[in-house]
Amino acid sequence: MKRIWAPWRMEYIRSPKSQGCIFCEMLRADTDADNLILYRGEHCFVVLNRYPYNNGHLMVAPAQHVDGLDGLTPEALLEMMQLVNLCIDALKQTMAPDGCNIGMNLGTAAGAGIKDHIHMHVVPRWTGDTNYMPVCADTRVIVESLRDCYARLKPVFDALGSAESSQ
């Protein structure tokens, strides 16, 4: 029998679950560090994924609650892609990945965990990061806490974001 200890999951299990949209709620909450929001743009924002595929797994979501790209304004579409680029720059500076996966799951059938509010994933990847753990043991190893990852990324997003807004 395999045992993987993850005591930090108990916080999630015991926490009250919202019936609303998590993205809309975190934007209204105005507690960015608690919600792991790294950057707020005019139309979209960047947040660290609480259930990451890899360390540094980011999501870019529009502030507008829509379930498809066709519901976004041209300005929000443009900013979404600009923020994906900002994410890649921040990840390169802080984590030096060998590459990144960028993707979006539209609808439940496509694997969307949150199907009513679109969001794009930016996942840093390193050569050899798919090793025996996920392949043989069906287990992912996340080597850095979300808080530590947030603390490392936040100043870079602040610097990159202010440089971008001054252009």
Burial 116-140 (b: 16+ CB within 10 A, else e): ebbbbbbbbbeeebeeeeeeeeeee
Residue given tokens 């936040």 in the structure block: 154
Burial of 24 from C-beta contacts in 10 A (0-12 / 13-18 / 19+) = middle
Active-site annotation holder among 43, 57, 119, 121: 119
Whole-angstrom Cα distance, residue 63 to residue 42? 8
Beta carbons of 122 and 53 less than 8 angstroms apart = no
119 is catalytic: yes
Angle between helices 74-95 and 146-165 (to 10 degrees): 120
The end-to-end CA distance of the chain, in Å, is 56
Residues catalogued as catalytic: 119
